Structure formats: structure tokens, C-alpha cells
Amino acid sequence: MTLKKHLQCMHYNVIQQYDFKGVPAPIVQFHSKIDDILVVECNQKTEKVEPIYPHVMVGLACAVAVLRGANVYAPGVTAIPSGVYIGDRVSVFADILGQCKRGWNSEYQGQKFFVGNGLLVQNRKDLFTVAVPSGLAINMIEPLFDCPSIGDILHEDTIGGIQKGFLQNLPSVLCGHALNLQSHHLILDLCAAPGGKTTHIGCLMKNKGKVIALDKSVAKIKRIQENSTKLGLTNITAFAFDSIKASIEIPENQLRGVDIITVPPIPESPPFHPYSFDRVLLDAPCSALGQRPQLYNPIRLKEVQSFARLQKKLFVAAVQLLKPGGRMVYSTCTYNVSENEEIIDWALGKFPFLRVVSPDIKLGKPGYRVGRLTEEDCIAMQRFGCPASCGSQNENSDAIGFFICCLERIISKSV
């Protein structure tokens, strides 16, 4: 299917979704600079939505999904007052602290946040007397923020069982493009779950070459495999493995920017030989302070400060596995300088054969200048997630908080 046909199908499906709501559908169009992205411009100028009674409580993750356009599904519902029936209008509230007991049958008085109004399509018995409730529970007819349910459209709209697209934030898509991929490349994606960037890399490679994805969690690896299958990708192999231990250990003084005469064999499984990969993506575990929407974050300062140590360990593994002349991308979904620019500053000091390079597509703002970072280094970096107070928003600036830095391993014949 052509990209133009994808656009037409997506636009048609969004219109159908909004016909039910009785309001104009948002515009679906190609991104102005990246031809594999469809942008859905949400209608933010909605009428003010006021809560009504009764109140239905949902989990925090479910509430965040509602703010991103989803309906409420059965597993996310935690409480419905008695006397509420199918077809009734209800208000949906997030259980901010996760303290509402499942099956609670009165109005919950704890800390909560209103996310919109909807129509109940399952009764209490169906939701709370079965071991694993399933299916649509509330059709959100008046969400607090108007956004189409793209996930539902992608799930239902397939060709021969193959999903036509994947829902991602714009900065996440840029990580794959920043790698400057070629179809013959051997790619490593460290800390890869849930696999959005992994599968995008597989698509950019036109289902050729080889993409190896690592994550410690067996359940998350299964999700990567499922997403690969949904998109019809066969060039992705995923392993449940600790990315810190992904490289066969070599003495630190051998980590130099020299030509490797003997090319390592194509890796079968981790741990891998050093210098094995043409491209490495390290989307590092982080404090996630840039995630949007974010109703509540229980993280403490000590935990925020702990991420840099983990990120440095992962960075060492990434550098060990990168071929001379190869490219790696380091990214996070946080605003925190100590997890972003300060990590790059540390890396340039520890690995003098690395250099910051500018990607072909740049949409974010420059990084902050710290330590040994030059002005050119900072211009090559990309920061996303400007608060509303920064001025007008567009398809590039109205994004989650995110950081991207592209680095190359210099080829040098000096030992």
C-alpha cells in the first residue's frame, strides 16, 4: 500500500470515529519533513467538559490512555457505584495514588483526577465477578482532551493480518532516522522494549539486514516479538538479556578508535564480540520526566540521581560493540541535564575516539552547553518538549520531553 493510500485510510477512519462524537474530525496529513510519518492534529479547542455523577474510577495508566484518545477498557476499571447501568452517562476519574479498592461500590473520596465523560457499556457484574474482565467498558463521548483513538484504528485496520502503522511520539521516530541506516547493516537496540523504535528500524531497513533487540524482561521481549509480527517484520531477533553485559568483556585500554582488521562473526546470541555492530541505539532507562500526559509521578530525588550511573554502564557496553566508523544514538525521555548532556560530556572524556555528529533530520532545539561540549556539539543534539509558556506550538515542538544525541566512532590507524 502506498503512503498516499495510508493517509486516505487513516483520514477516513478518523472521520468515522468523529461522526459518532458529532464534532469535526482532526486533520490527518504527512509530516512536512519526514515522509514515513502521518501527523494527526488534535482539536484542542473543545467545549469545557464538566464532571457529572456517578463517578467511575480507573487506574492511572488507563486514565493517561484516555487523555491520549482511548476509550476505557474493562481491565482499567477499579470502581463503579451501585445502581449504575449500561447506557448511563458517567464521569471517569483517575485513581491518582492507586488506593481505590477494586469493586468499590460507592463514590470514591480519595485523591482523583477527572479525565472526561462517557457511556457505560458493561455492568458491574461483568466487570467485577470475572477473573479477567475484557472488552470496552466506557465509550468516551466527552473526553477532557479531544484526541482520536489511533491505537484502535491501527488495531482494526490491517491488510492480510499485517498492521499498517505504529503509534509513536515524534522524537522516538527520529531516533531511527538519526542512525542513518543502510539495508545491509547489523543493528543493535539496547533496552529495546516495548519495541516501537526497534520495529521502526526494521521498517527503515526495508525488512533487510539484521536488527537485534535486547531487554532484561522476558515479558517485554515477548511484546517486541508480537509487535514485529503485527508489522510483518522478519529481520528482528529479540533476546531477554541484560544490556550491560551485552559485550564480551575486553580490557578498557583496548577500547580505542582503531581499524579492526579481523571482522567479528555475525553474532548469534548475546553476549557479542566487541566491534560487531554497524549501528547501536541506546534509548536508556531514565527518570521519564518528559513523558506526557503525566498525572502523577512518585519518583524521588535519590532515584532520579541514580539513573546516570546505570546509563554510563550501558553506554560503555554500547561503545564496546560499535564498529570503527559506526554510529550510535543515545536518547532519553527526560529533561534532566545529568541524564542527557552530562552523559555525553562524560562519554567524550572517557572515549576520545567518539565525536558528536549532526543527523540529517533535525527538528528539536539544541542541547545545553556543559563541561567540554562545544557549541557545535550542542547544535547537533536535539531537545524536545517545550512548555506551553514558551510560545506557539506546532507538530515538532508540541512533543514529549526527549533528548537525542548522535555519535560516531572515529576510524584511526594510530595505536
Q: Helices 196-204 and 170-178 meet at what angle, rounded to 10?
A: 50
Identify the bridge partners of residue 215 per DSSP, sorted by sequence position.
Answer: 240
The answer to whether 233 and 203 are in contact (CB under 8 A) is: yes
Identify the bridge partners of residue 384 per DSSP, sorted by sequence position.
Answer: 402
- DSSP letter assigned to residue 216: S
The answer to whether 214 and 191 are in contact (CB under 8 A) is: yes
Coil, helix or strand at residue 322 = strand
Give the C-alpha distances (Å, rounded to integers) separating 92 from 64, 79, 116, 142: 12, 10, 6, 10
What's CA 180's distance to the chain center, in Å? 20
Q: Which amino acid is at 293?
A: P
The answer to whether 123 and 322 are in contact (CB under 8 A) is: no
The answer to whether 127 and 77 are in contact (CB under 8 A) is: yes
Q: Measured between alpha carbons, how far is 241 from 216 in angstroms, rounded to an integer?
A: 5
All three cell numbers of 37: 510519518
Residue with cell 482539536: 43
Q: Measured between alpha carbons, how far is 409 from 274 in angstroms, rounded to an integer?
A: 13
Q: Measured between alpha carbons, how far is 415 from 397 in angstroms, rounded to an integer?
A: 44
Of 259, 251, 261, 315, nearest to 286 by C-alpha is 315
333, 378, 386, 406: which is the annotated catalytic residue?
A: 333
Q: Measured between alpha carbons, how far is 68 from 148 in angstroms, rounded to an integer?
A: 8
The answer to whether 115 and 92 are in contact (CB under 8 A) is: yes
Of 407, 408, 8, 401, nearest to 172 by C-alpha is 401
The answer to whether 412 and 258 are in contact (CB under 8 A) is: yes
Query: Residue 124 phi/psi, 5° resolution?
Result: -60, -40
406 is annotated as an active-site residue? no
Q: Helices 301-321 and 341-350 meet at what angle, rounded to 10?
A: 40
Residue with cell 538479556: 241
Residues assigned a catalytic role: 333
